[in-house]
């Protein structure tokens, strides 16, 4: 697969492909899973700082080294070292999907809606705060509604991985975890034939789910040895 030869530690070149991400729909040349080292945690989580400005300051410095800027990238962030990244590929005839995942679940795994929240946002700023990062690429062309609906498939698949590894809420170990409080997703569309639905009844949805489940499980094992 050509995309595999383009993967680097800095990110995934995607030739300005259409994608859905945590902050909305957009186009980017590079998809980044950004490791925030412990030395920067206090700065990034400073209650008085605008989080978007804080990330911009850090990323702009890094991106200068690669002769690009924030207009060309979409990124996720994590405290997990990129040496622990996991990936999984699924293919069927002309279709393919590729998932990259980092996962830290020891301290912030939670059962959503049951565990109490640890942060509140007012006017774009967080007052007190607490990651499973998923980047999924496919060769199929996904329009905006399909990109958005892929989040349902990917989230369900992530939950399958957490169930199969029996990951528990960090605050209430008797509860099954459904994720962490800071999970992030980017889905990147390809340029092949159009696919309009990626739920579990479709082959592409099945492939997405299989890749995500495998990659999430491996990412958790890479970090914590489950």
Per mean pLDDT, which of 1-5, 47-51, 188-192 is the most reliable? 188-192
pTM to 2 decimals?
0.78
Residue 52 sits in a domain whose CATH number is: 3.60.70
Q: What pLDDT, on the 0 to 100 scale, is given for residue 68?
A: 85
How confident is the model over 187-210, as a mean pLDDT?
Answer: 93
Choice among 54-58, 176-180, 211-215 with the minimum mean pLDDT? 54-58
| Segment 8-62, tens digit of pLDDT | 333 444 444 455 545 567 788 888 887 777 777 676 666 545 656 777 777 787 7
Of residues 143, 164, 149, 144, the one with CA closest to residue 205: 149
How many domains, in total, are found in the chain?
1
Split at pLDDT 50, 70, 90, the class of 128 is very low
Q: What pLDDT, on the 0 to 100 scale, is given for residue 201?
A: 94
Give the residue numbers spanning the domain of 140.
2-224
């Amino acid at each position: 697969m050509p995309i595999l030869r383009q993967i680097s530690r800095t990110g995934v070149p995607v030739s300005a492909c259409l994608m859905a991400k945590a902050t909305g729909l957009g186009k980017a040349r590079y998809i980044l899973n950004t490791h925030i080292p412990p030395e920067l945690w206090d700065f990034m989580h400073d209650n008085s700082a605008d989080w978007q400005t804080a990330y911009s300051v850090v990323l702009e410095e890094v991106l200068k080294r690669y002769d690009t800027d924030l207009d060309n990238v979409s990124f996720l962030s994590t405290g997990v070292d990129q040496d622990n990244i996991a990936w999984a590929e699924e293919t069927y005839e002309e279709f393919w999907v590729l998932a990259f995942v980092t996962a830290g679940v020891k301290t912030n795994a939670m059962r959503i809606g049951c565990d109490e929240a640890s942060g509140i946002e007012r006017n774009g700023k967080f007052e007190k705060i607490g990651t499973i990062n998923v980047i999924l690429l496919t060769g199929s062309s996904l329009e905006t509604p399909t990109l958005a609906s892929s989040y349902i498939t990917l989230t369900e698949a992530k939950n399958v991985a957490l169930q199969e590894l029996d990951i528990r809420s960090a605050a209430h170990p008797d509860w099954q975890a459904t994720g962490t409080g800071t999970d992030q997703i980017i889905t990147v569309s390809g340029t092949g034939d159009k696919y309009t639905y990626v739920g579990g009844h479709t082959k592409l949805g099945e492939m997405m789910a299989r890749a995500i489940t495998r990659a999430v499980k491996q990412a958790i094992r890479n970090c914590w040895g489950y």
